[in-house]
Structure 1
Amino acid sequence: MTERSGTAGSPVEAASGAAAEPAPVDAAREFLRAVRTDGDVDAARRRLDALPPAALDALDAAEQLAFWINVYNAATGDALLDDPTRLSNRRRFFAASVVSVAGADLSLDEIEHGILRRSKWKYGLGYLPDPFPSAFVRRHRVADLDPRIHFAVNCGATACPAVFAYDPATVDEALDHAAETYLRGETVVADGTARVPRLMLWYRGDFGGRSGIRERLRRYGVIDADATPEIRYREYDWTPSLEPFRGGE
């Protein structure tokens, strides 16, 4: 998927009565809907688990992004709404299996760093690959890493981005909107310094280093087009925040 260079409007969620979509896309959105509306989460989980791997193989780039972002956010919300204390041990929480997709038990780390980040090592600042991805991850990971996913996946912390139900038809515009909203809300610019969200340090290589971070700030109007501020990183607020997983679609 080609990343757009401008800003966009608010995310557009799937309308009822839309053209038929691939079963995985609909199943992921139903999982997120069930979590956010206290629906039949168990049925949604069974549907995801029963998907044939070939159906995931058939997804195009936009469908992959929408599918895996929705699965990640739904799995996070379901786990933390059940037990918010899970976030107190982040290493264990992110490494534990939280959802089964096409017969494979997956952790949040596998979805984010294996599939959405195309097998990047979690602690490599975006520069080092994971040398030992699972066979499932190798088969279903995205072809190209889109750094805007960092403004879309929510791990349950206060500093995380908002949660939207992503739709393949509008995922490009929706990710631009998510990036702009998050960066404008979380970046502090003063005295020649831009204090950006800490996730831009953790995944600095995904964004193209400091120069890439500055370009992203310019793209979304956070700094002037000719500005070259020093980049500093804000502390991350890990306080649990469950509101993004309540209500909505």
Structure 2
Amino acid sequence: MADPFDGRDDEVGEASTGGRPPSTDPTTLARDLLERVRRGESADGHLRALADLSRADLEPLRNDPRAALAFWLNAYNAAAQLLLERNPELFDSRWRFFRAEALAVAGVGLSLDDVEHGILRGARSKYGLGYLPRLSRSGLPKAYRLEPDPRIHFALNCGAASCPLIRPYDPETVDAALDRATRTHLETTVDYDPERDRVRVPRYCLWFLGDFGGRSGLYEFLREFDRLPEGARPSLRFRDYDWTKTPRMFA
């Protein structure tokens, strides 16, 4: 299988770009930040560049959902890995870990919860099975919020053993890449037993059932990714989630 990070060596890091500063294009910057984290290289310059972006620099994130999706997926995954590396004790309390400031974008400090639930999930609460609004604010205006896409749950990695593998995302190919990431994760985490008429699915499918469109939407989602035959509506079983700290799960 080809390395999804291949082909970017000429764009990452000040050392590999002849000392040039990080890009001010947000999607390139977040992608390169993730690459530096994967390589174990210093990410401080890229973190500062993200914090120093202007609201004008973020215009692609307001006007192009694909650019926004790629940006926030890469930013989340990079920030989570850096949080695990620099403040590993936070993971002992998930409440603290997900609410700690993980990165700043255009001068706004953001937690992992802010990115996932405030932006990627369109200000929906992490509680209430994905149906309730999120009351706390992310610090960025509503214009940055995206419509919930259930595939993000198979792309975001917070450092737990049950998390999906970390992959890079680009605006031009983000839909196809999310499909591949989702399919790959479902192939190893969904078990359909036609004799018992039941199916075991990842815990995300319960936690964020509303993102999938409820039970009917979840069945359709599983059929779309070839985990259920047409017309099947088996009883649902949800896998336990393994919260063992497991950093650096790069594809």
Displacement of 1:14 in angstroms is 7.6
**CA–CA separation in structure 2 for the residues paired with 1:43 and 1:180:** 35
**CA–CA separation in structure 2 for the residues paired with 1:134 and 1:33:** 25
Could you state the TM-score of these two structures normalised by the residue count of structure 2?
0.87
- The answer to whether structure 1 residue 43 and structure 2 residue 38 are counterparts is no
Which structure has more relative contact order (CA 8 Å, sep 6+)? It is 1
Out of 163, 180, 203, the residue aligned to residue 166 of structure 2 is: 163
- The answer to whether structure 1 residue 229 and structure 2 residue 234 are counterparts is yes
Could you state the TM-score of these two structures normalised by the residue count of structure 1?
0.87
- The answer to whether structure 1 residue 74 and structure 2 residue 78 are counterparts is yes
Segments of structure 2 that go 5 or more residues without pairing to the other structure are 12-22
- The answer to whether structure 1 residue 115 and structure 2 residue 123 are counterparts is no
Q: Name 1:146's counterpart in structure 2.
A: 149
Q: Name 2:94's counterpart in structure 1.
A: 90
* SS of aligned partner of 1:244: coil
Out of 225, 244, 248, the residue aligned to residue 243 of structure 1 is: 248
Instruction: Give the direction of change, closer, same or farther, for the CA distance of 1:243–1:58 in structure 2 (3 Å limit).
Output: closer
* SS of aligned partner of 1:39: coil
Residue type of the partner of 1:41? A
**CA–CA separation in structure 2 for the residues paired with 1:95 and 1:54:** 27
Q: Name 2:18's counterpart in structure 1.
A: none
Displacement of 1:98 in angstroms is 1.0
Q: Name 1:4's counterpart in structure 2.
A: none
Segments of structure 1 that go 5 or more residues without pairing to the other structure are 1-8
Q: Name 2:203's counterpart in structure 1.
A: 198
* Structure number with bigger Rg: 2
Superposed CA RMSD in Å reads 2.2
Q: Name 2:33's counterpart in structure 1.
A: 31
CA contact 1:12–1:170 (8 Å) conserved in 2: no
Residue by residue, what CA displacement relative to the aligned partner does 1:130-182 show, whole Å, maximum 9, x if unpaired?
1342441524222x221111111111101011100101111000111111111
Instruction: Give the direction of change, closer, same or farther, for the CA distance of 1:14–1:169 in structure 2 (3 Å limit).
Output: farther
